[in-house]
Every structure is written in C-alpha cells, then in structure tokens.
Structure 1
Amino acid sequence: MKFLYHQTTLKTRITISFVLLMVAVMGFVIIAEQLDYDEVRSYVIAKSLHDEVPRLESAIVNGISPTLPEGSQFYDVHNAPDTLRHYALGYHRLEKPGHWYLLVFERNDQRYYLLQDGKSYPFLEYLIDGFAPLVILLCILCAFWIGRLTSARVTAPIIRLADVVQRKQKPLPFQDASDEIGVLARAFAQHSDELEQFLYRERCFVSDTSHELRTPLAIIGGAAETILHQLPVDSHLIPSAERIVRTTQEMQRQLTCLLLLSRDPHTLTRTDVPLRPLIEECITRCQPWLAKKPVMLVLEAPQTPHAHTHAELARSIIWNLLRNACQYTEQGEIRIALHGTTLIVSDTGPGLPSSIDPQHFQRFLPSAQQRGEGLGLSIVQRIVEHLGWHMQVDSSDQGCRFTLEMRRCE
C-alpha cells in the first residue's frame, strides 16, 4: 500500500487524503446518530442502582435502616406506594411524575423498591451536552492529523529535492519518477546542465581570450618600454610612449581581473590585505589624469587598515573608482576616506551621465554623453557582487559618492 501511494501523483495523493478525511468525519457522524442519549442516561443510572443493592441488602440483614443518597427513596412491600407494587423485578424507567428510575429486587422472599430521581445525575447532562462538541473536536483533530500526514508525505520529496539543489549535489533524485516530482526533478536537472554548459563556455572564452591577449600585450609593453628608454630626454614622443606602457599595464591587470571573475567565488584565495598601500599605489597611477588640473586629492586613512579579501580584486575596485573620479573631475576635490572596512570615494565632478543607473550599472548603453564610465563601473559592480560586498552610489551634478562596505554581506 505504501509503495502504491508513493507511485501515485501528488494530485491523487491529495484527493485520497481528502476522501479519507470525509470517511472519518462521516464515521463520527454515524456513530453520533446511532447513540440514544436517553439510553445512555438509563444505563448509567441502572448501573448506579444495581451497585446500591448489596449495601441495602446488608442493612436489611442487620435490621438497620439504610442511609440513602440524595434523591433516593427506599420501600419494602409494606410501605411501598400502590403505584409501584405492580412493577416486576428488575429495572424500570418512570416517566411520570418527572424522570424517576425504579429498581425492584427481592431479599428473603421480601420485595423491595429502590426509587432514584434522575436529577441526581447532573454530570450526565453535561456529558450528553458535551458529546456534540466532542465529536466536532475529534473531527478537527482527525483532519489535522490527516493534513499533517499528507503534507509530510507530499512535501518530503520536494524538500529533499530542494536540499540537493541547494547543496549543488549530483545527480538529482526522483528523475525516474513518473509523477510531478519527477517532472520537476528532470526540469531542474536539464536547467542545471544548461547553466553548467553556459558557465563552462563563458569561462573557456574568457580564459582563452585572456591568454591570447597576454602575449601581444606583453610584446607591445616590452617594445614601448624599449622605445621609452631609447628616446632622448627632450623627445616629444616620451609622453606617447609612457601612455602606451600605462595602457598595456592596465589591460594586463583587467585581463587578470576578468580571469578571476570567471572563477567560482568560493575558490578565491582570501588573505588579510593591507588597504592603505593599495590606495596609495592607485593614487600614484592616477597622477597623469590629474596633471595640469586644479584638483586636490585627499586621503583619509589609518596606517594599518586590513580587509580579508582577494588583493587583486580589491585593487581593481579601488583603481576603477579612483580612475573614474580623476578622469572626469576637472576642478575641486577628490576625497578617499577609509573607516574600518568602509571605503568612501567622492569627487566634485559632473556626476554620472543620465544613461547610467547609479543602482545598476549596465555596459555599452547607447548614449552620446557616455564616455566609457559604464564599462569600468560595471566591472566594479561585478567584483563587488563576486566578493559578496555592498556598494552604495549617490550621484548628482555636484559630483559622485561611492560608499563601499568591504566585508561579506550574508
């Protein structure tokens, strides 16, 4: 039976459960209808009267007057009312006057009459009045039990499937089942396989592209450095050669960053990274964008702040934010403040273009005003999500403010 139950569909299981519930309810109703409340009352009182007989017989044998409970009357053949004399031995119910119950018995060929008032049993009325609520309560408890049992059986495979999916275990269970759980398991398995294939293709593409670009970039960088060292000190080509060297170095760093982003975040090596040296390095690299600009760059950071993270990805975030501020701030101030693991980069530039959403950076949006900020900020957002950090952006025509919380947000 249990095997057949597990072979049925969820729809059938729920239907069977409700049918069983209705059967249980109807069973209680039928039992309640079969009970005669007067018969219950008569049985209880008759039992009580019969239990009194031994005590009365003992009193009669000893020749003493028996003590009677409240609402009881006791007669012998001499003082019994005429209305009782015609009753035969045994238990009788008297309808008039009121509700009385009579037990006729004999002792030493003498007939005795024990009369009991039905009002002396008030607990019976409470019992009878509470029978209907008791049936209702039992029905509710039965429904609750069946519901719990059904929900446990129905949700057990779903919970197990969800747990396996969450733990990223393979293969998924219930793929061979013919019910709805089997359909869901097969859909999950297919979707998981498609995602894994997509991620594999993406990682392969990023890895292949990065490695293919490293060689020509190394050649370009080496050639540019050679030219730079061979040029005369007063040559007008020195700035161009320096720019080529810086650009190739930046491209190599971006390639490294893209390779790291293509990995599973859980496989990243995290260490205690000193933050101030990273910030000072990025400030030094940004000096060419600040040349001949009336811009003051202010650093507010203690000497020994650390963050438990990946050094290269942290450097990429700081570099992209600082470079963006230095590129587009024509005058005023760029301020970098570090408080614990909270980094704030603010500037007095023109703010983000209207084509860029400060809460969700998107790359390559078509806009005449967009000059390349979207790609760098998109990489920053990807790294922030990859590391599990949080970033808040406030932008206006008075400038931008990036607040970065450099600790994992669960």
Structure 2
Amino acid sequence: MLNIDSIANKFRLSYLVFAILLCATFVSIFLYAEVRMEQELVKGRLLQQLELSQEKYGERALYTADPGIKIYHYDSAPANLQALATKTVQEIPVTIINQTGQIETQLHFFAYQQDGQDYILTYLEDTEMVMGNYPVLAIFEHLEDIFANALKIAVVLSLLIAAIFSHLSSKQIIKPLLDLKQAVETDHQNLNELTHLPSEVGVLARAIDTQNHKLAQYLKREQLFTGDVSHELRTPLTIILGASEVLASQLADDNRLSEFTNRISNTAKETSETISALLLLSRAPEQLDTPQTSINAIAASEVTRLKYLLRHKPVTCTIVAEQDYIAYVRPELLKMALGNLIKNAFQYTDDGEVVIAIDADKITVTDTGLGIPEIMMPLLYERFERLDHNKTGYQTDGDSKHPTGLHEHSNNKVEGTGLGLSIVQRIMTHMGWQLTHQANKTGGSTFSIYYK
C-alpha cells in the first residue's frame, strides 16, 4: 500500500499528477483545435456548395448535394434546426436508416445570411465526402483519426516517462535526507560531512549538530550537578548518621529521646537511599544491573515508613497479594516510585482505606481520598503541579459550599512540592514500565504500575 506520508511518494505522486494535468491540458487544446478546424472546414465546404447550387439551380427552398449536404431556406428548414441554428457550426446526434440498418451519427449545421436571405446549411457526417468535391475535409477526417491515435500513445508514454523519471529523481532528492537519518542513527558519525552542504539538508544538519552540542552540554551539566550534589550531601548525612548513633547509645535508657534519635537516623538513611535512586536515574538504563527484588517487601517497608501520615485519621491500609512477587529492578527505584504513590494516597485520604494490590502483572494503589479533578488531568505528571482546592473548585472559604466530606480536609493544607508523580513517571520511563491512573466511581484514585 502506498504510504502517502513518505516524502519520496509525495514527490512521485505530485509529479504524476502534474504529468496528468499537463497531458489533460494538451488533450483539451488538441480537441478544441480539432473541433474548430472541423467547424471551419465544414463551414467552408457548405458555403462553397451554396454558391455552386445558386449558380446551377437559382433560388430554391432546398438544395441537396451529395454526399450528405442539404441547404435550406430558413423558412423551409425543420423547426428544430430553426430553434438551434446560430452562426457557429454546431452538431447534434441523429439516427439515420440506410441499407445496413440504423446508424448513430452527427449532423453539422449553422445559420448564414446572404443578401438579406437566411439559410440553414447542414452536413451529415455519415457519408464520406468524395475527394473530388472537397478533398481538404476528406483528408482532415482521415488525419483526425491518425492524430487521435498518436495523441493516445503520447499520453501513455508521457505518463510512463513521468513515473520512471519521478521514481529515479525522488531517490536522488531524498538521498541527502536518508544520509542525514543514517548519520543521526549512528550517533552522528557522518553528520559533519553533511553540515558543509549548501542545500536545505546542510542547514538541517547544522541545526541538528548545534542542538546536539547544546543537549550534550546540558546532560553533562546535569550529570555533574547530580554527582556534585550527591557527593556534597553524603558527607553531612554521614555525620548525621554517626551523631544519631552516638546519641542513641547515650540515650538508650530514655525512651522518649530515643524515639527522636531513631527518627533522625531513619530519615538520614532514607535521604541517602533517595540520593542513590536519583543517581541511578541519571545513568542510562542499559548500564544498570537489575537484581531480583521482592515487590511485597518494598511495599510493606514503605507502608511502615509512611504510616505516621495516617495518625489521627480513620484510614486503614491493606496489602493484598496471593504470594511473594518479584521483579527485576533496582530496589532503590521501585522504593521511590511506590513510596511516592503510597505517600500521596495517605496524604489525600481523610477517611476510608488505602489498598495496595500486587499480582503477576501490576501493582495498584487504590484510595478513597479526594481524587483528581478533571481539570488537573492534563497536568497530572507535570513538575510542580499539585492538587489545589481553589484551583479545582474546592473552596476554602467557610461561607462557600463544599462537596460532601471535603470540608474538613479543605481546611487542612497538605504539604508537598508537586514533584511526586513526575518522579514516578520518570522512573517508569527509565525502567520501561507503565503508569496509569483511573478515577474510582466511589471517589479517590487508583494508580497502577505495570511491570510486564
């Protein structure tokens, strides 16, 4: 099937259409010239016959001359010819009966005025004019068939030549584009050779080369920034961990203070894991090893870590899994992705439950919280975009009307940066997985991570 989106096929098709239009123009000119010539020849022959008949027979209502010529005084002509005849030669289809039966042919006729007398001159195309009477018209009738056949052959050859020429020339035209495509696909090994071309392809190659340099510099800056930040953060985190361990050993007998030292230690460890995950995201996916990782263990760990968000809330959290499922993935990345989804579910659910379901194909996090308004859907995975009650129609003014069950939550601002879902989506893209969202009929949201 012809691919119309292909540049080469577009060029071939446009060239073929141009050839068809050109042939149609020439055919139209030929047909017009043929008709006009035939009209003038018929007119000349009939006027010649009128003159000869007047000299031979004088004035009559009807002159008949072979082959197929009849000249009427206007008043003696058939009514249909009187109604149709003009000074221009016309023709109408007629049916005649001869010895061989009925024949469909053309009747040529026109009106003519001479010395105040009107005539209608007719010529029936069925009979051949003899050479002796009017050789020019007879020769024209013969040449007309020759020119028509020659024109048909010329049109067919023209279209064939146009098709062959467009096929060959399109290859030459798109060759630089194919070279550019190959250069881009082969990590720009031959791109420098194309940047010196004076054509549009050279302009495009130079633009791609410039953009590649900018992109390479940007990626280098991002990698350096990520490495520098992680390096600079690891040192204070190590100090914090060490200090928390010292405090924990000295405050072992004080349960209240020990709880704070444990929180400091756990937060420092989590921050270190987050830095490791961000470093993994800065590397190419093919450069990462993917060990067997227990999805159930990661989910249980994140629920335990984030359980504090459900304090003072009538919300239950359940992990549903028929068995221990594993995935080949870096645990740091899975922990960050799943942790963000669970954290959002805990933060935006004031009443009901959060269910984390794991099976052989996917992980789903379902909540009975606020849900995501339709207006926010296009920005769901955008950075720094988060649920804003004023923006989505949930008013915080005490005099305004609130949807059922949302008033209490509306007055409690949920902290966040709007980066969580953006980071999850980036992790999914990095691992080749898929993240989907579905609004629940009873309220809340369901996020699904497909890893197979």
TM bucket (normalised to shorter chain) is 0.5 to 0.7
Q: 1:234 to 1:293 in 2, by over 3 A?
A: farther
Please say if 1:211 is aligned against 2:255.
no
Q: Which runs of 5+ in 1 are unaligned?
A: 1-13, 34-94, 98-124
Instruction: Give the 3-state SS of the residue equivalent to 1:286 in structure 2.
Output: helix
2:176 counterpart residue number: 157
Q: 1:357 to 1:213 in 2, by over 3 A?
A: farther
Q: How far apart are the structure 1 equivalents of 2:167 and 2:378?
A: 48
Instruction: Give the 3-state SS of the residue equivalent to 1:256 in structure 2.
Output: helix
Please say if 1:182 is aligned against 2:202.
yes
Q: State the Cα deviation string for residues 240-269 of structure 1 (Å, max 9, x = none).
A: 222222221221111111111111233222
Instruction: Give the 3-state SS of the residue equivalent to 1:374 in structure 2.
Output: coil
1:241 counterpart residue number: 261
Q: 1:223 to 1:329 in 2, by over 3 A?
A: farther
Q: Which runs of 5+ in 2 are unaligned?
A: 1-10, 31-129, 133-143, 390-412
Q: Which residue of 253, 256, 270 maps to 2:290?
A: 270
Aligned-partner residue type, residue 374 of structure 1: G
Q: How far apart are the structure 1 equivalents of 2:365 and 2:304?
A: 16
Q: State the Cα deviation string for residues 316-344 of structure 1 (Å, max 9, x = none).
A: 21122112323443332110112322111
Matches of residues 94-113 of structure 1 in structure 2 within 5 Å? none
2:437 counterpart residue number: 393
Matches of residues 130-145 of structure 1 in structure 2 within 5 Å? 130-145=149-164
Matches of residues 49-60 of structure 1 in structure 2 within 5 Å? none
Instruction: Give the 3-state SS of the residue equivalent to 1:237 in structure 2.
Output: helix
Q: Does the aligned pair in 2 maintain the 1:348–1:399 contact within 8 Å?
A: yes
Q: Does the aligned pair in 2 maintain the 1:353–1:370 contact within 8 Å?
A: no
Q: State the Cα deviation string for residues 71-116 of structure 1 (Å, max 9, x = none).
A: xxxxxxxxxxxxxxxxxxxxxxxx779xxxxxxxxxxxxxxxxxxx
| CA RMSD, Structure 1 to Structure 2 (Å) | 3.9
Q: Does the aligned pair in 2 maintain the 1:358–1:394 contact within 8 Å?
A: no
Instruction: Give the 3-state SS of the residue equivalent to 2:194 in structure 1.
Output: coil
Deviates more, 1:374-383 or 1:301-310: 301-310
Q: Does the aligned pair in 2 maintain the 1:358–1:393 contact within 8 Å?
A: no
Please say if 1:406 is aligned against 2:451.
yes
Deviates more, 1:311-320 or 1:262-271: 262-271
Matches of residues 349-360 of structure 1 in structure 2 within 5 Å? 349-352=369-372, 357=377, 360=380
Q: Which residue of 405, 408, 415 maps to 1:371?
A: 415
1:384 counterpart residue number: 428
TM-score normalised by structure 1 residue count: 0.63
Q: How far apart are the structure 1 equivalents of 2:237 and 2:425?
A: 26
Corresponding pairs, count: 304
Q: How far apart are the structure 2 equivalents of 1:349 and 1:358?
A: 20
1:317 counterpart residue number: 337
Aligned-partner residue type, residue 197 of structure 1: Q
Aligned-partner residue type, residue 151 of structure 1: S
Q: How far apart are the structure 2 equivalents of 1:209 and 1:146?
A: 61
Q: State the Cα deviation string for residues 39-73 of structure 1 (Å, max 9, x = none).
A: xxxxxxxxxxxxxxxxxxxxxxxxxxxxxxxxxxx
Q: State the Cα deviation string for residues 141-183 of structure 1 (Å, max 9, x = none).
A: 1111111112111111101212321342334141222222211
Q: Which residue of 319, 322, 334 maps to 1:302?
A: 322
Matches of residues 324-363 of structure 1 in structure 2 within 5 Å? 324-352=344-372, 357=377, 360-363=380-383
Identity over aligned residues, as a percent? Answer: 34
Q: Does the aligned pair in 2 maintain the 1:347–1:401 contact within 8 Å?
A: yes
Task: Compute the displacement of 1:392 (Å).
Answer: 1.6
Q: State the Cα deviation string for residues 102-136 of structure 1 (Å, max 9, x = none).
A: xxxxxxxxxxxxxxxxxxxxxxx999754322211
Q: Does the aligned pair in 1 maintain the 2:436–2:449 contact within 8 Å?
A: yes
Q: How far apart are the structure 1 equivalents of 2:242 and 2:377?
A: 39
Task: Compute the displacement of 1:204 (Å).
Answer: 0.5
Q: 1:137 to 1:161 in 2, by over 3 A?
A: same
Deviates more, 1:329-338 or 1:267-276: 267-276
Q: Which residue of 281, 289, 293 maps to 2:309?
A: 289
Q: Does the aligned pair in 2 maintain the 1:221–1:245 contact within 8 Å?
A: yes
